[in-house]
Structure 1
Amino acid sequence: MQLFYTPDHARVGDVIPYYENGEFKLFYLKNWNPYFGSDKTYGWHLLTTKDLIHYESETAIGILGGTGCIIKVEGLYHLYYCVFEDQPQRQYVCHATSTDLTNWTKYPDETFGPDESIYLLTDWRDPHVIWNEEEKCWWMILCAQNQGNTKRRGCVGLCKSADLHHWTCCEPLYAPQSSMSAYECPDLFYMNGWWYLVFSQFTDRFQTLYRMSRSCNGPWIRPKTDSFDGRAFYAAKTCSDGEHRYIFGWNPTRTQNTWNFDPDPTHEGYDYKTYDWGGSLVPHEIYAREDGTLAVRSNPALKKTLTVSNEIKWIPLNGDWKVDQTSVNVDSPIAYASIISENDVPHQGCLSLDFTFTPGTERFAVVLQADQEFARGYYFYLDPKRQRIEYKSAIRMHEQGGWTFQYDVELERPVELIPNQTYSMEIFVDESVMEVYVNDEVAMSVRAYDLHDRKFGLAVSDGAVKFENVKLTTLGEL
């Protein structure tokens, strides 16, 4: 089984989540791998799940178009999506209805583009519809670009309707004039006294972001940490089951060279290659802190699925490590200390632990797929100086990595790290997918291909760290 769904011979693109009667109906854009064959079915596909791990067989629903939304009104499902034209580039919103989520009636006469006096014609996609109780009408927000004097025109467009069939273009809901890309896959929801506006952008930053406001009309506040994840999580939209809210994005593969931008093809492996469009389905749970800002934690069903505990055995490599049944710690004030497991990293499993560090500690790491010399592996560094978790892949550990990556940081996420406080950390592994969660607040998605069936370990550089409650859980005993 898979912990993070990936279709055979294909990739999960943008997810359009809908929840009803105890089940998530996850519509998504399917991106087929080129070697699959001629019997592929294009367009929207539907996945049904109760726990976001176990899925029923997926089906194609006959909608050929881009991202949109599903709502239900008086027993009738409404589906909004987008279509594209080239030469010149144009984008349009389309409408269809259904009584069973499978057979759809389309309304070609209702297809519409942007108001040219407010918006550019080139971007008009990813419609998301909600009922606005304050204004007693339907709102549609869209990925758009508004008219302006610079190229920084990315915005969240807005249309309004009384009947779901006729729409009036309005001034943008959010137009900060800061991004050259249109704001993709917009989402808008209300929770605990706050309105949250979610969107993704691919210039300046390549992430799914959010803004917050006490009013549906703004002003839209940028929180200190305004993203849910890093580069390897994109085009995410949210959905609630009435108790929990989840954000659904994709962890991209790196095997297809989608953008024809890979480095020298004679290099072996995939870890240094560019990200594709689409990959594996990743749902994070999101929740609001007391100040209204949003935090991210793992899907609770993951822990319920990985139920088998495996005994961990350690081999100290350097440093004066103290080891007992479920904890290890080291005080290494002027050197690098490392310890490696006798256990292999599972193909599906979770490594979890708590950590506490002393003042002045430079940095420390949890490492997966390490070799016996503790050289090449996948390193997750906790960095108190820079208040972040940083990911370095195996290729960064030798000279070829310096040629390939001319920059210092491969992936990073901001994390508040305070000495003498205890934090939790989980790393879920599903073949090439790794999903990391720190303190049930911060998430970082990683795609790692090249190293398998190696060890995991811990490292501390110039400091003292205690790792406690170290657990390795799997689907079956290793």
Structure 2
Amino acid sequence: MHRIKTLLLIGIMTISSVGCSSKAAEPDTTLDETTEETVQSADEKYLGENIEDHIVFPASVEGLVGDTMPFYDEGKYNVFYLADLRDGKQGYHPWGLMQTTDFASYDDKGVVLNYGDAVEDQDIALGTGSVIKGNDGKYHAFYTGHNDMFEPKEAVMHAVSSDLINWEKIPEDTLYANENYAQNDFRDPFVFYVESEKCYSMLVATRQNNIGVIARYTSEDLKSWEDAGVFFENDMGTDSNLECPTLLSYKGKWYLSFSDQWPHRLVHYRIADNFEGPFEIPSQDIFDCNGFYAGRMETDGENLYVVGWNGTKKNHTDSEDYDWGGNMVTHKLVQHEDGSLTPVLNPELEKLLSNELSLTPVKMTDSASLSEGVISFAGEKYEMAGFKELLGSYLIKTTIRGFDKDGMFGFCFDTNEESVGNLNIVFNGANNRIEFYNGSNIMERTAQSYVDFNLADKNELNVSLLVADGVVCMYVNDEIAFTTRMYMSQGSDFGVFSVESKVSFEDLKAFK
């Protein structure tokens, strides 16, 4: 069976589950010759060869970006990160540093805190941690020292600096888990100062009684730490570790974030009125899908961001599973009246990508129509409108209206000879989800990424897609982000599509 028919079949099967016929009609993917001829003479400048390209999802000058550790100080966000060098050496994951004021331009300082020199060192591999400016005026880094040859494998270690670039390790301050916690799961320290207690607190991701917990330690001098017990226990009904915790105060609320190490690998957050809790689960407790991991929050008091990474794929092949480390991805967070947070497109990036380019379909199935900038699908079989390839960094914006609430439609990339995308972001109304399929034959695949999203109460979808460096990040209605790895999102054609669903894509534009 042709792939185009397979894509159609899953749409029909989905619709049949809500009472419609499951009989599959053979799809008509004939291109509209009039449209084809018209667009061949269209303005070719939309590829934007003469427009400056921008770094949207930075990788490291050292290689790739793993867990991030943002620290705001004196007007600048200092984003420390685990540098994924992939160089085959015994030591790995030194700390690198990128600096930014707006998450739209970056100064990458490279490695600033290296792993140990010898295989006998506790920190032959560095893990996630945090940075704080102490009352002594110095900068203090607390990081995970990891050594697979040791027992225990993990410990919290300490280094100091006067400039954030040059660090001195203090091995005698190393902190190991006591008998209350798992010796080999003791990592990702996050340190903050509690004004009401006049002391420092450290959150550590660990385990107790075979469940993931966040432990709390306290200190008056950033050298000696006392166990203050379990601060937060996994409340998701799993036994997963709660990696990379963050705790901060923002505009009257306290926010705790963490990433579940399994099974979903999502960044979650909780809300409280004070730093000790109790922490409540918001109605939507995630910011993104599993294409965004290890996100940590940071604020300058006015703006709030969550910074994480989008992984590469195994063998650098789109159809494969995610690997560890890739490109840094940052979402700006908006606080709502009830204290909940949602991710939105960084307005500084929107300003940066502001050169509007011609964007005209080069192919359309003949039941689709184009009128006054609106691409409409009639709900007949598989329909698509395709565009030329994108090169470099782009912002694509559109408003989606008139859609079937139980329909299936979305964005396709790297389309095949049957005009079906090998990579598909799908609004699946029948499943109440946004989904990503990294293969055209989605009938025989499960979604590589998904988030719950109810189309039934939506009248329109305001969509922005950032496309850069093999990463596609979509924002929908300032409610949810959806980040995916698609190497072939650039250098190959892309489009919008529908499967037996009426829908209109209005005011579809590209910016560079």
Q: TM-score, normalised by structure 2?
A: 0.81
Q: Does structure 1 residue 426 correspond to structure 2 residue 468? A: no
1:13–1:374 CA distance, 2 compared to 1 (3 A): same
1:41–1:157 CA distance, 2 compared to 1 (3 A): closer
Q: Does structure 1 residue 203 correspond to structure 2 residue 247? A: no
Choose which of 159, 162, 180 in structure 2 pairs with 1:96: 159
Q: Residue by residue, what CA displacement relative to the aligned partner does 1:413-442 show, whole Å, maximum 9, x if unpaired?
A: 222324662221111111311111111221
Matched with 2:307 is 248
Matched with 1:160 is 218
Matched with 2:83 is 30
User: Is the 2:83–2:96 Cα contact (8 Å) retained in structure 1?
Assistant: yes
User: Is the 1:4–1:53 Cα contact (8 Å) retained in structure 2?
Assistant: no
Matched with 1:139 is 201
Matched with 1:382 is 427
The more displaced of 67-76 and 448-457 is 448-457
Mapped partners of 2:78, 2:97: distance in 1: 7
1:161–1:464 CA distance, 2 compared to 1 (3 A): same
- Hey, which bits of structure 1, 4+ residues long, moved more than 6 A? none
Bigger RCO of structures 1 and 2 (CA < 8 A, at least 6 apart): 2
Choose which of 46, 51, 58 in structure 1 pairs with 2:109: 58
How far does residue 372 in structure 1 lie from its aligned partner after superposition? 5.3
User: Is the 1:319–1:330 Cα contact (8 Å) retained in structure 2?
Assistant: no
1:452–1:73 CA distance, 2 compared to 1 (3 A): closer
User: Is the 2:390–2:489 Cα contact (8 Å) retained in structure 1?
Assistant: no
Q: Residue by residue, what CA displacement relative to the aligned partner does 1:330-383 show, whole Å, maximum 9, x if unpaired?
A: 332x53332223x32333212110112345552211222324531233211112
Matched with 2:23 is none
Matched with 2:502 is 464
Q: Does structure 1 residue 355 correspond to structure 2 residue 424? A: no
Mapped partners of 1:59, 1:253: distance in 2: 20
How far does residue 102 in structure 1 lie from its aligned partner after superposition? 2.1
User: Is the 2:470–2:489 Cα contact (8 Å) retained in structure 1?
Assistant: no
Mapped partners of 2:440, 2:368: distance in 1: 26
User: Is the 2:473–2:483 Cα contact (8 Å) retained in structure 1?
Assistant: yes
Matched with 2:343 is 296
Matched with 1:193 is 252
Q: Does structure 1 residue 83 correspond to structure 2 residue 145? A: yes
Higher strand share goes to which structure? 1
The more displaced of 323-332 and 7-16 is 323-332
How far does residue 131 in structure 1 lie from its aligned partner after superposition? 1.4
Choose which of 73, 90, 98 in structure 2 pairs with 1:47: 98
Mapped partners of 1:361, 1:182: distance in 2: 36
Aligned pairs for 1:402-421 within 5 A: 402=444, 405=445, 408-418=446-456, 421=459
In structure 2, give the amino acid aligned to 1:410.
Q
In structure 2, give the amino acid aligned to 1:169.
D
In structure 1, give the amino acid aligned to 2:355.
V
Q: Which runs of 5+ in 1 are unaligned?
A: 257-268
Mapped partners of 1:196, 1:123: distance in 2: 23
Q: Does structure 1 residue 326 correspond to structure 2 residue 373? A: yes
1:331–1:34 CA distance, 2 compared to 1 (3 A): same
Mapped partners of 2:234, 2:92: distance in 1: 39
Q: Residue by residue, what CA displacement relative to the aligned partner does 1:155-206 show, whole Å, maximum 9, x if unpaired?
A: 1111112222221102111113744342111100122332211111222221
In structure 2, give the amino acid aligned to 1:68.
G
SS at match of 1:344: coil
Over the residues paired in the alignment, what is the CA RMSD in angstroms?
2.5
Paired-residue identity, %? 27
Choose which of 35, 40, 55 in structure 2 pairs with 1:2: 55
Choose which of 291, 309, 318 in structure 1 pairs with 2:356: 309
Q: Does structure 1 residue 230 correspond to structure 2 residue 289? A: yes
How far does residue 284 in structure 1 lie from its aligned partner after superposition? 0.9
Mapped partners of 1:100, 1:8: distance in 2: 20
In structure 2, give the amino acid aligned to 1:70.
V
How far does residue 42 in structure 1 lie from its aligned partner after superposition? 5.9
Aligned pairs for 1:252-267 within 5 A: 252-255=311-314
Alignment length (residue pairs) = 446
Mapped partners of 1:125, 1:67: distance in 2: 7
User: Is the 2:96–2:110 Cα contact (8 Å) retained in structure 1?
Assistant: yes
In structure 2, give the amino acid aligned to 1:45.
G
How far does residue 16 in structure 1 lie from its aligned partner after superposition? 1.1
User: Is the 2:250–2:299 Cα contact (8 Å) retained in structure 1?
Assistant: no
Matched with 1:120 is 182
1:338–1:57 CA distance, 2 compared to 1 (3 A): closer
Mapped partners of 1:89, 1:254: distance in 2: 31
Q: Residue by residue, what CA displacement relative to the aligned partner does 1:378-397 show, whole Å, maximum 9, x if unpaired?
A: 2111122322211112x242
User: Is the 1:309–1:471 Cα contact (8 Å) retained in structure 2?
Assistant: yes
How far does residue 72 in structure 1 lie from its aligned partner after superposition? 1.1
User: Is the 1:356–1:420 Cα contact (8 Å) retained in structure 2?
Assistant: no
Q: Which runs of 5+ in 2 are unaligned?
A: 1-53, 116-125
Q: Residue by residue, what CA displacement relative to the aligned partner does 1:293-348 show, whole Å, maximum 9, x if unpaired?
A: 2211122222122122111222563354342343222332x53332223x323332
In structure 1, give the amino acid aligned to 2:383.
A
Mapped partners of 1:419, 1:226: distance in 2: 19
Q: Does structure 1 residue 109 correspond to structure 2 residue 109? A: no
